[in-house]
Amino acid sequence: MKRNYSYIIGLMLALVISMPPGLQAADKPNVVLMMMDNLGWGEVGTYGGGILRGAETPRIDTLADEGMKLLNFNVEPQCTPSRSALMSGRHPIRSGTTKVVWGLPYGLVGWEKTMAELFKEAGYDTGMFGKWHLGDQPGRYPTDQGFDEWYGIANTTDESMYTTQPYYDPEIVKPPQIVQAKRGETPQPVKEYNLETRRTIDRELNEHAIKFIEDKAKAQKPFFAFIPYTQPHLPVLAHPDFDGKTGNGDFADMLAEMDFNVGQILDTLDRLNIADNTIVVWTSDNGPEEAPSFTGTAGFWRGNYFTTLEGSLRTSFLIRWPGKIKPGSISDEIVHITDLLPTFASAAGYKVPTDRMIDGVDQMPLFTGKTDKSVREGFPAYNGDNMQSYKWRNFKVHYFDQESMFSSPTRMNFPQIHDLIKDPKELRGLYGGTGGSATGVEQLTWVLPAVTYEVLKFQKSLQEEPPVPFPAPEPYMPKK
C-alpha cells in the first residue's frame, strides 16, 4: 500500500511538472487591464458603433460575448482624475488630482496607495505599458508607485505635436520622450514622442506587454498587466500598417488598429494557456474627444469629456473571467471606476487600505452573477474642483450648466433633475434645464432631498479627512 501511495503521488507530481504553465494550479488569477484614452461609449460595434464608425471591431465585440458588458460604467471627466480614481479607489477630490494641468508638479503623491502596490503586496508581478498622466517627477512615476516595469509616456499625447508646432523652442520645452524604467529607477528616454512615433507607440506598448505576459507565464508568477493605450487621444493617427486601410479616414483606421491590438493580447493569453485564469478588462478613461478634427461620439448619450454629461461619464467596459463571469451577460447597474480597486481585491487577495477613505466598492458579486444589483446607488461628479452634478439611481442632478469643454461652467439658480431613462440626452431638466419644457417632470422634486443627503454626507467626509492639497509637496504626509 505504501508503494502504491508513493507511486500515485509521484505520478501526480510528474503530471503537474509536465503541464504547460497555463494549466498548472493557481489560486491567484492574473489581471490584464486594457484602457483606451478618450474612447466614446458609442465607438465600437458592441456599443452600437463599429461599422457605423467606419471599421468593424470583431475582437472587441467577441470579448463582450465572452464575458459581461456594462452599460452604466462611469469615470471622471478628465484624464488625470480618472486614472487617479482607478489607481487609488478614491475620488480625485481627495487626492488633489481633479484636473489636467501643464507645467506644474501634479499627480498622485507617494502617500497614496495604488492598485499596483496592493497587487505587489499580494505577490503579483506588475507591469505598465502606456500613458500614466499621474505625475512626471521622481516619486510619482509608475515605477515609484508599485509597478515593476514601465514603457510609455508620463503625460499626454498632446505632447507628440509639440515639436511640429509653430515657433516651438526645444531650449524652453524639451522634446517629449517615450521612456522606460524598472522599479525604483529613474525613467530613461527611449525615443522622441512626435507625430511619427505617435503612430507606432500603441504597437510598441503591445509588444512590451506581450513580452511581460510571456515572461510571467513562463515563471508561473501571477501578474497584473496594465495597458493604458494612447489611442484615440488626439492626434488620431493610425499605425502605418493601418493608415488608409479602411478607406474611411484616420479615426476608422485607428479603430481597426485598436481592435487588432486587443486581439493580439487575447491571442497571447490563449497561446500561453492562461486565459482561463486571467481576468481581462477593456475600458476607457474618459468620454470622447471634442477637439476640432478629432471629435468622437458617445453614441446613445450626449456630451464629451470635460463636462459631467452622460457622454462624458459613461464609457464602455467589458470584463471576462472564464468560469466565473457568465458569457454574454449585460448589466445597466451603476459601477464607478473607483470600484475596480476593491473589486480586484476580492479576486487577487490583497487588502484594501483602511487608514484612509476608499470610495470604491466591491462589484465582484455583480460581475459573477451572485447578485443583479450594484453595491452603489450613485456618486458625485466633479469637473475640476466643483461638484457639477450628482448621479443617483436613474437620476442626474446638475448644479452647473456646462455643455462643452470650450464653455465655462455656470452655476444654476436651481438644480436641474433629469430622469435618465426618459431623458437620456439630459435635455428636459426640472424648470427647463438646458432647453426644453419641464412639463411632466415636476414630481421629481422628491429627488432633491434624497440627493442632497448624499451630497452632504460626501462633503462631511471631506471635512473628516481633508483632501491632499494641490500642488502638494513630495514627500507628502497628511496631518493627523
Burial 292-320 (b: 16+ CB within 10 A, else e): eebebbbbebbbbbbbbbbbbbbbbbbbb
Q: Could you say which of 91, 133, 233, 336 is catalytic?
A: 133
What is the pLDDT, as a whole number, of residue 480? Answer: 75
322, 416: one domain: no
Last residue of a domain, one of 304, 333, 367: 367
Cβ atoms of 262 and 282 within 8 Å: the answer is yes
265, 324: one domain: yes
202, 351: one domain: yes
332, 280: one domain: yes
Q: Could you say which of 79, 91, 239, 418 is catalytic?
A: 79
Residue holding cell 457605423?
52
Whether 277 shows a pLDDT value over 80: the answer reads yes
Question: Tens digits of per-residue pLDDT, 259-274?
Answer: 999 999 999 999 999 9
The band of 376, judged by pLDDT with boundaries at 50, 70 and 90, is very high
Segment 396-402 mean pLDDT: 96
Segment 203-226 mean pLDDT: 98
Q: Which residue, among 170, 169, 181, 178, has the nearest Cα to 196 in the 3D structure?
A: 178
In a domain, 104, yes or no: yes
Of 11-20, 133-142, 291-300, 354-363, give the lowest mean pLDDT range.
11-20
What is the pLDDT, as a whole number, of residue 139? Answer: 94
What is the pLDDT, as a whole number, of residue 13? Answer: 42
Q: What percent of the chain has pLDDT over 90?
A: 88
Question: Tens digits of per-residue pLDDT, 423-474?
Answer: 999 998 765 344 444 444 457 889 999 999 999 999 999 999 999 999 998 8
In a domain, 17, yes or no: no
In a domain, 375, yes or no: no
74, 145: one domain: yes
Better pLDDT: 38 or 14: 38
What is the pLDDT, as a whole number, of residue 8? Answer: 42
DSSP 111-172: TS--HHHHHHHTT-EEEEEEE--S--STTSSGGGTT-SEEEEESS-GGGGGGGGSTT--TTT
Cβ atoms of 368 and 325 within 8 Å: the answer is yes
What is the pLDDT, as a whole number, of residue 429? Answer: 77
The band of 479, judged by pLDDT with boundaries at 50, 70 and 90, is confident
| Residues shown for the chain | 480
357, 415: one domain: no
What is the count of structural domains for the chain?
2
User: What distance lies between CA 347 and its chain's CA centroid?
Assistant: 18
User: What distance lies between CA 62 and its chain's CA centroid?
Assistant: 20
What is the pLDDT, as a whole number, of residue 442? Answer: 56
Segment 281-302 mean pLDDT: 95
Q: What percent of the chain has pLDDT over 70?
A: 92
Round the average pLDDT of the chain to a whole number and report it. 93
133 included as an active-site residue: yes
Last residue of a domain, one of 367, 390, 408: 367
3-state SS class at 234: coil
Whether 59 shows a pLDDT value over 60: the answer reads yes
Question: Tens digits of per-residue pLDDT, 65-79?
Answer: 999 999 999 999 999
Segment 289-307 mean pLDDT: 94
What is the pLDDT, as a whole number, of residue 184? Answer: 87
161, 113: one domain: yes
Segment 84-105 mean pLDDT: 96
CB count in 10 Å sphere of residue 457 = 9
Helix (H) or strand (E) holding 102: none
398 included as an active-site residue: no
Return the CATH number at 430: 3.30.1120.10
Question: Tens digits of per-residue pLDDT, 129-149?
Answer: 999 999 999 999 999 999 999
What is the pLDDT, as a whole number, of residue 436? Answer: 40
In a domain, 18, yes or no: no
363, 404: one domain: no
Whether 47 shows a pLDDT value over 80: the answer reads yes
CB count in 10 Å sphere of residue 288 = 25
Exposure of 282 in the CB half-sphere (CA atoms within 13 A): 25
251, 393: one domain: no
Task: Print the domain residue range for 223.
Answer: 30-367
Burial 32-56 (b: 16+ CB within 10 A, else e): bbbbbbbbbbbbbbbbebbeebbbb
Segment 20-45 mean pLDDT: 82
Return the CATH number at 81: 3.40.720.10
183, 59: one domain: yes
151, 287: one domain: yes
In a domain, 279, yes or no: yes
What is the pLDDT, as a whole number, of residue 26? Answer: 53
419, 310: one domain: no
In a domain, 21, yes or no: no
Q: What are phi and psi of 234, to 5 degrees?
A: -65, 145
In a domain, 456, yes or no: yes
What is the pLDDT, as a whole number, of residue 443? Answer: 75
Residue holding cell 450626449?
302
Whether 403 shows a pLDDT value over 60: the answer reads yes
Q: What is the pTM of this model?
A: 0.93
What is the pLDDT, as a whole number, of residue 25? Answer: 36
Rounded Cα distance between 88 and 375, Å, is 19
What is the pLDDT, as a whole number, of residue 428? Answer: 82
Q: Which residue, among 237, 228, 232, has the nearest Cα to 265 in the 3D structure?
A: 228
Segment 10-19 mean pLDDT: 42
